[in-house]
Structure 1
Amino acid sequence: MKTRALLLAALLATSACTSAPVTPAGTGIGVDEAGLDKKVKPGDDFDEYANGGWKAKTEIPADRSRIGVFLEVANKAEANNVAIIAAAQKANAAVGTDQRRIADWYASFTDTAAIEKRGMAPMQGELGAIAGLKDKAGLSKMLGGNVQADLDPLNATNFETENLFGLFVSQGFDTPDKTVPYVLQGGLGLPDRDYYLSTKPEMVAIRTAYRAYVEKLLTLAGVSDPAGRAGRILALETRIATAHTDNLTSQDAHKANNPWKKADFAKKAPGIDWDAFWAAAGLGSQQDFIVWHPATVIACAKLVADAPLQDWQDWLTFHRINEVTDVLPAAIDQAHFDFYNKTLNGQQQPRPRDKRGISSVNAWLGDAMGKLYVEQYFPASSKTEIQTMVAGILKAFDERVAALSWMTPATKAEARKKIETMQVGIGYPETWRSYASLEVKADDPVGNLRRAQKAETAHQLAKIGKPVDRKEWWMTPQTVNAVNLPLQNALNFPAAILQAPFYNPEADPASNYGSIGAVIGHEISHGFDNLGADFDSTGRLRNWWTKEDLAHFEAAGAALAAQYDAYEVFPGLHLNGKLTLGENIADVAGLSAAYQAYRASLGGKEAPVIGGLTGDQRFFLAFAQSWRAKAREQQLRAQVATNGHAPDRWRAMTVRNIDAWYAAFNVQPGEKLFLTPDKRVKVW
C-alpha cells in the first residue's frame, strides 16, 4: 500500500502464500495463533513472536521470489479471475464485447503452440523499421512513437518504461484544475542507475549476467552480431544511467516541478528533433509540459545526438523484443525469466502459463475484468462496513491533528481541511474504462500488447485539456493493494484487498482494525508523509506550513529515518531510512490512527479476552501478521536498493513507536525493541 502505487503491486505479482489460513471465520479471534512463536519475547523481536511459527513451517515455492499474507488474499482474487475468464470463454460473446476481448486475450496468451509456430515473425515489421533508420531525425520520430503513458511517476521503474522517456498525465503541480503531461526518465533494462554504476561485487555480477542475457536474447531472436550489439547496448545504457536522477531526488516533488513549453525542449535539450518526437508521441499541438527529471532529459537528448545511430538501433532492437518476451517463443521467454526473475530475484521456476495469462488479462483489460469481479464477488455489506471504518479512522486522524501541541493554528487548519476533503474510493470506481477502441485478436498476442499499449497511452493523453476527475481510480478492483493519490487528495481501496485476513466481517473488530484498519490509516497518512505533506487539499504543490511547524515535522522524519537506517538486513547491508521515509511515516501514523479508532469503536468499554489475548494484543498481532513474509536473498537485496518500502519484517517493527504496544505486551527496558518514550517517533 503506498503513494507510489505500482511497485508493491509488482512485488505481489512475484510473491505467494502457502501458510495455513488465519483463524477461520466465525471463531472471532482473527489472529493466527499457530503462527506465533511464544519462545520469543515480543519486546525482543515482535515480527518473530507474531510470525515465527508460520515462518518455521513455510517454504517459498519454486515459482515465487517471496511469500506472504498478501498472496493469501491475492490467491482468492486469482480464483475469482479464473472463473470470470472461464465464463468469458464459454459465453462465446460477440466480437467487440468485453467478454470476447477477455476470452481472446487469454486464448492468444496461452496458445503456446501457435506462439512457437509464429516464431519471430510478429516482430519483423518493428525490427525492419529499426534497421531501416537512416538518420537522427528518423530516430527522434521513432523514440517519440514508442512513448508510453506510465501510471505513477514515482514508481515508473525501467521494467515498466524501457523507452528513453516516460509519460505521466495528471493535474499540474501548480494547476490543480489543469491536466498536463509529465516527462520522466527511462531507457534502462536494469532496475536502477546503481546497477550500472555501483562497484559492489554483487552489482558487477548482475551487470555481467545482464550483458550475457542481452546477447542470448538477440541470438535467440536471430539478430546478427549479438555479442557486439550486447556490448554496445550495455555501454549506451551505462551512459543513460549516468545521466539518471537518483531515487531520493526523484521523490522530491519540488525538484520535479519544472514547467517547460514545447519550444523549451529544443532550446534546453538539443540533440533530439523534438517537433518530430512530440508529433509521433501524439502531442504535436501540446504546449505545456512538466519535466520531472530535467537534467536527465537534457543529458539524454545530447546522447541521442552524440551516440552513433547504430548504438541506438541496437538498443531499440533489444528493448522492443524485451518488452514482449511473454508472447514470443519459449526459449526467449525462458531466457527473460532466467535473468529478470531468477538472477535478479531468486525465483526458481516460472509461474504456470495459465496464471501468467490471468495477470496479463488483468494488466491490459483491468476495468473489463474489474466490472465483472465486483458484480460477482464484492458484497454491498463489505463496502458499507469499510465506509464506516474509514469514517472512524479519518475522524481519529483529525482528532490527532487537532490535539497537536506543536502545530500552529494556521497549519493545523490546512491539515484538517485536507482530511475533510479527502476523496475515498472503496471497492470500485464510479465510472468504468471503455475498451471499445481496442482490437483484441485470439491469434495475435504481440499485436494485442502493442495495441493495448497504444490504447492506454491514448486514454491518458485524452485527459489533457479536460476537467480533472478527482474520483478517477488508479487501481483495478481485483488488485490486492491500496493507494494514496497526492495530486487528487484521494484514496483507492480495491475490492480484492477487502477480504480475509485483511478484513473478515466475522472476526473480532480488534483484528480488523489492526489489519485493514492499519492499511486505511496508512493510506490516509500518506497525505501527510514527507511527500504528501507538500500538497494541499486541492492537490496543489504548495507549502502550507509555518517555518517552525515544518522544522518540527522534518525533525520527526529525520528521527524515523535514523531508526530505520539502523536496521541491518544482511551483514553490512542496512535499510535506507531516507528512501523508505514516506512509507515509514505512513506506517507509524496510520497504525496510531487505526488504534485510536479501534478504541473509540469500543464505546468506552474494554474488549473481551479471546483465546487468552486481550483486544490490544489482537490488534497489534493482526498488524504484524499482515506483514509476515519470507523472501529470497536476491529479492530482498533488490528491494533494499530500489524500493520505497522497508521489507515486511521491519514494517512489523513499527509497533515500537506506539505507546499502547508496550502496555499490551509488558515490554520492558533492556528488551531489544524497547525505546524510551522520548525516542518513540510520533510524526502525527
Structure 2
Amino acid sequence: MPASALKPLALATALVLAAPQASLHAAQPVAAPAPVYDVGDLDPSISACKDFNAYANGKWIAANPIPADRTRWGAFDQLREQSLQAQRGIVEAADAGADAAKTGSIEQKIGWLYRSGMDEAAIDAAGFDPIKPDLDAIAKLDDTAAIVAWLGDAFAKGEGQGFRFGSGSDFQDASRQIAFARQGGLGLPTPDYYAKDEYKDIRSAYLAHIARVFELTGVPADEAKAKADGILAFETRLAQASLSRVELRDPKNQYHFMSIDEANKVTPHLDWAAFFKAIDVPVGDGFSLSQPKFFAEFDAMLADVPAEQWRDYLAFHTIDDASEYLSKPFQDENFAFYGKTLNGQPEQRARWKRVLDTVNGGMGQALGQLYVKEYFPPAAKARAQELVDNVRNALKARIEHLAWMSDETKARALEKWSTFLPKIGYPDKWRGWGGLEIVPDDYFANVRAANAFNERYDLDKIGKPTDRYEWHMTPQTVNAYYSSGTNTINFPAAILQPPFFYADGDDAINYGGIGAVIGHEAGHGFDDKGSQFDGAGNNVNWWTKEDRARFEARADKLVAQFDGYAPLASHPDKHVNGRLTLGENIGDLGGLSFAYDALQAADGDKPDPMIDGLSRDQRFFLSWARVWRGNIRDKAQLVLLNTDPHAPAKFRAIGAPSNMPAFAEAFGCKAGDPMVRPDDQRVRIW
C-alpha cells in the first residue's frame, strides 16, 4: 500500500500553535520569554475533574476545524506544518541554487529531486510510460520459477512485493544485524478488512479502485473488473494467514531464526539461498522468517495460484505503489481511495507538500542536515539534555522504590536503565549520499534511484555490527521513539519546539510537555513489549516469575481502562483496543509520572510562581493535555482504531492523569469524580 494510505503517528495529535517560525531560527536574536499557555483556552463551564480534555481543549477544538487537506488537526499537526514550511524554504533554496551548487552535493541532489517533482507538465506528459518496462517484465512471468526470480530482482531494487524484507537487530544477539522476512502484501489496512462484514463497503470500494487503476493503463473495463476480483481473492488468502496487529506486538511473533535449509522446508518453492544471492546479501548462519505460517501460505500460493493471477497482483501493486509519481489521473485515483474513501480526507494536499514527502522519503537525513543548521541551536540541545537526564533519574528512583517488585528483578531493571542511550536532535555522524544519482528533469527516475540507494543502504547492514548511534527518524520529524533492539531513546530536533519544549520556558510547561514525551519513550523500555528485552537489546527474560505476573496484572487493569473508551458518537460500539494500545498507554502513564517526579525534584523546594492563577502542578497537567488537543475525521479514526498502537488523543489527555493522585490534588477532585479512578481500578505500574 502507498505510504500515504495509512500513516499512524508514533505519538499522536494535538495543541496550540507553536512559536512563530522565525523565533526558531538559530540566527534570530533571542526575545524575552513570551507567555506559553493561554488561559483563555480553558472552559470554566466544564469541571477539570469531570472531563479534563474538554476543560483544557474543548474551546480550542471548537474554534479550529480540520483543514480540508488533512484528516486531523492539533498540536502535533500544527508543529508538523511549521516544520514543513521550514523544510519548504530549504528545498526551494536548494532548487534555486542547484545548478550552480557543488557537483554531487546534498544541496544539489535535494534541489534537483524537488525540482523534478514540481515539474507537473513533464510528469503528466509521461503518463505511465515510466513503469511500462516493469509491466512488460511482469507480463512475461509464466511459471513459479519466473515469479520467484522476479521477486528477488524487485527486492534488490527496493520495489519488493508480497512480503517485507530488511535488516534488524538479532533478537538473541542484538550486537549484530540480520535479515528479517515479514508478512505483508495487503492493500487494505489489516486482515480484518478482508473478512468482516462491517468492512464490505470498503472491500467494494477497493475492488473498484483496483479496476480503475488497470483501466488507466488501457485495460478494458470488463477485463479490469475480472482482474480486481482475482486480486481481492489473492489478498484475502494472504490475509487469512496473517497475524493481527495485537498478535504482532508479541516478540515471539516477530522473530523465528532459521538456517536457509530450515527456511526452505517452510517455503520449498522459494529458495532463500537464491533470494539472498539475487539481493546480494550474505546468507551467514541464517535469518528471521518472522511469521512462518504466513510464508508457508505464500509458498503454497506460489505453487497453486495460476501465473495469470500472480501477474495481475504484481502488476496492480506496481502501478498502485508508483501512482503518486505518475501523471495526474494516477495521483487522483490513488487519493480518491486511500485519502478520501478510506480516511475521509476531502482535498488532496498541495503539490509541494507531496513532493516534500518524496524528498523526505528519499533523502530525509540529508534534508535534516540542512534543517538543523538553521532551526536547532546548540542551546536548545543542551537544555533538552538536562530534561532528559532529570526524567531518566526520576525513572530510576521509581524503579528503586517499587513496592511490588523483588530486589532481584529491580537489580536487572536498573541494569537496563543504566544502559539507556539518549539521542537528542540529530545524528552525531551523518550518512553519506555518494553514489545516489539525481537528475533535474526525471522525477520517476529519481524516486526509483533513491529507493534502490536506500534499499542497498539497509541491506548492506546485514551481517554487520549494530550501530546504536544510527537514527531511524529524521531531525525534521515531529515525533520521538524508543528502540528495543538498541535500548535507545530518540528525540528529533523538530519535536524539541513549542508547545512541547521552550528553551527558556516555565519548567512546569516543559516537564508536562517534552518531559512527559521523554518519560514516555523511556517507559517503552519497560512496557509490555520493551520489558521483554534487556539492556543490550536482547529478547531475554530478566524477570522472576512472580514479578512478571504482578506486572501483567497491573497492565491488565490498564487494558480494561482503555477498552472502555469509545471515541466516536457516530459509532458508539467502536471501542479502543486496550491490548493493541497497551505499550503506548504504559508509556503515557509512566512517562507522565516520571516527568511529574522530575518537576518536583527540580522545583519542589522553590516558591510556586502561580502564573496566570495556575499552580505549578496545574500548569504541568494542562501542558500534558494541550499536546493531545485535536480533531480527527471519523473515517480516519475508524482506521486508526484498527491499526494504530496509540489511543485516540482525547483519551491520552485524560487516561494517565486519571490514575495519578497528584492530578486530583492539583484540581481539587474528589472520589467519585470521573477523573479520579476508584482505588481498585487505579493503575500504577512504574
Q: TM-score, normalised by structure 1?
A: 0.94
Which of 222, 239, 246 is matched with 1:248 structurally? 246
CA contact 1:29–1:511 (8 Å) conserved in 2: no
Q: Which amino acid counterpart does residue 124 of structure 1 have in structure 2? A: K
Change (3 A) 1:645 1:149: farther
Which of 662, 665, 680 is matched with 1:663 structurally? 665
24-33 or 228-237: which moved more? 24-33
Which of 486, 489, 492 is matched with 1:494 structurally? 492
Q: Which amino acid counterpart does residue 242 of structure 1 have in structure 2? A: Q
Change (3 A) 1:299 1:194: same
Change (3 A) 1:599 1:322: same
Which of 27, 30, 36 is matched with 2:36 structurally? 30
* Mapped pair 1:104 → 2:104: no
* Mapped pair 1:644 → 2:645: yes
SS in 2 for 1:163: coil
Q: Distance in 2 between matches of 1:9 and 1:331?
A: 21
CA contact 1:149–1:169 (8 Å) conserved in 2: no
CA contact 1:256–1:293 (8 Å) conserved in 2: yes
Give 1:276 shift: 3.5
Q: Distance in 2 between matches of 1:682 and 1:12?
A: 25
Q: CA RMSD in A?
A: 2.2
Give 1:452 shift: 1.6
Change (3 A) 1:487 1:404: same
Give 1:274 shift: 3.5
Q: Distance in 2 between matches of 1:195 and 1:482?
A: 30
Q: Which residue of 2 aligns with 1:615?
A: 616
Q: Which residue of 2 aligns with 1:78?
A: 84
Q: Which residue of 1 aligns with 2:208?
A: 212
Change (3 A) 1:559 1:71: same
| Per-residue deviation, residues 371-392 of structure 1 (Å, max 9, x unmatched) | 1111111100000001000000
Q: Distance in 2 between matches of 1:64 and 1:256?
A: 33
Q: Which residue of 1 aligns with 2:596?
A: 595
Q: Distance in 2 between matches of 1:303 and 1:474?
A: 34
SS in 1 for 2:437: coil
Q: Which residue of 2 aligns with 1:3?
A: none
Unaligned runs of 5+ in 1: 1-5, 151-160
Give 1:48 shift: 0.7
CA contact 2:8–2:644 (8 Å) conserved in 1: no
| Per-residue deviation, residues 330-356 of structure 1 (Å, max 9, x unmatched) | 111001001001111110000000111
Q: Which residue of 2 aligns with 1:479?
A: 477
Q: Distance in 1 between matches of 2:520 and 2:470?
A: 20
Give 1:290 shift: 1.0
Give 1:7 shift: 11
Q: Which residue of 2 aligns with 1:557?
A: 555
Q: Which residue of 1 aligns with 2:26?
A: none
Which of 137, 146, 163 is matched with 1:129 structurally? 137
| Per-residue deviation, residues 437-475 of structure 1 (Å, max 9, x unmatched) | 211122222222222222112111111222221111111
Change (3 A) 1:442 1:287: farther
| Per-residue deviation, residues 535-576 of structure 1 (Å, max 9, x unmatched) | 001001000000111011000110000000011123111111
* Mapped pair 1:387 → 2:382: no
Q: Distance in 2 between matches of 1:17 and 1:259?
A: 40
Change (3 A) 1:7 1:681: farther
Q: Which amino acid counterpart does residue 131 of structure 1 have in structure 2? A: A
SS in 2 for 1:569: coil
Unaligned runs of 5+ in 2: 24-30
CA contact 2:8–2:643 (8 Å) conserved in 1: no
* Mapped pair 1:541 → 2:539: yes
Change (3 A) 1:19 1:407: closer
SS in 1 for 2:73: strand
Q: Distance in 1 between matches of 2:450 and 2:401?
A: 50
| Per-residue deviation, residues 626-646 of structure 1 (Å, max 9, x unmatched) | 001100000000010111110
Give 1:287 shift: 4.0
CA contact 2:621–2:657 (8 Å) conserved in 1: yes
CA contact 2:391–2:594 (8 Å) conserved in 1: yes
Q: Distance in 1 between matches of 2:259 and 2:297?
A: 18
Q: Which residue of 1 aligns with 2:630?
A: 629
Change (3 A) 1:245 1:7: farther
Q: Which amino acid counterpart does residue 661 of structure 1 have in structure 2? A: F
Q: Which residue of 2 aligns with 1:154?
A: none
Give 1:32 shift: 3.0
Q: Which residue of 2 aligns with 1:184?
A: 182
Q: Distance in 2 between matches of 1:7 and 1:334?
A: 13
| Per-residue deviation, residues 254-276 of structure 1 (Å, max 9, x unmatched) | 23231111122221222324344
Give 1:128 shift: 0.4
* Mapped pair 1:119 → 2:115: no
Q: Distance in 1 between matches of 2:312 and 2:271?
A: 20
Change (3 A) 1:245 1:17: closer
Q: Distance in 2 between matches of 1:228 and 1:178?
A: 47
CA contact 2:14–2:628 (8 Å) conserved in 1: no
Change (3 A) 1:600 1:8: farther
91-100 or 7-16: which moved more? 7-16
Q: Which amino acid counterpart does residue 664 of structure 2 have in structure 1? A: Y
Q: Distance in 1 between matches of 2:408 and 2:615?
A: 40
CA contact 1:656–1:674 (8 Å) conserved in 2: yes
Q: Distance in 2 between matches of 1:374 and 1:569?
A: 37
Q: TM-score, normalised by structure 2?
A: 0.94
| Matched length | 667
Q: Which residue of 2 aligns with 1:89?
A: 95
Q: How does 1:335-374 map to 2 (within 5 A)?
A: 335-374=333-372
Q: Which amino acid counterpart does residue 537 of structure 2 have in structure 1? A: G
Give 1:162 shift: 7.2
CA contact 1:266–1:273 (8 Å) conserved in 2: yes
CA contact 2:421–2:487 (8 Å) conserved in 1: yes
Q: Which residue of 2 aligns with 1:157?
A: none
SS in 1 for 2:165: strand
Give 1:45 shift: 0.9
515-524 or 664-673: which moved more? 664-673
CA contact 1:162–1:189 (8 Å) conserved in 2: no
* Mapped pair 1:166 → 2:167: no
Change (3 A) 1:451 1:287: farther
Q: Which residue of 1 aligns with 2:513?
A: 515
Q: Distance in 2 between matches of 1:346 and 1:148?
A: 35
Q: Which amino acid counterpart does residue 579 of structure 1 have in structure 2? A: L
Q: Distance in 2 between matches of 1:669 and 1:396?
A: 28
CA contact 1:22–1:32 (8 Å) conserved in 2: no
Q: Which amino acid counterpart does residue 58 of structure 1 have in structure 2? A: N
SS in 2 for 1:573: coil
Q: Which residue of 2 aligns with 1:53?
A: 59
SS in 2 for 1:290: strand
Change (3 A) 1:54 1:572: same
- Percent identical pairs in the alignment equals 39
Q: Distance in 2 between matches of 1:504 and 1:471?
A: 26
CA contact 1:69–1:627 (8 Å) conserved in 2: yes
Q: How does 1:164-313 map to 2 (within 5 A)?
A: 164-200=162-198, 203-224=199-220, 225-283=223-281, 285-313=283-311
Give 1:28 shift: 5.7
Q: Distance in 2 between matches of 1:149 and 1:192?
A: 26
Q: Which residue of 2 aligns with 1:153?
A: none
SS in 2 for 1:358: helix
Change (3 A) 1:149 1:252: farther
Q: Which amino acid counterpart does residue 534 of structure 1 have in structure 2? A: Q
Q: Distance in 2 between matches of 1:21 and 1:102?
A: 27
Change (3 A) 1:143 1:649: same
674-683 or 318-327: which moved more? 674-683
Q: Distance in 2 between matches of 1:435 and 1:226?
A: 41
Give 1:670 shift: 2.9
Q: Which residue of 1 aligns with 2:684?
A: 682
CA contact 2:437–2:446 (8 Å) conserved in 1: yes
Q: Distance in 1 between matches of 2:364 and 2:406?
A: 44
623-632 or 664-673: which moved more? 664-673
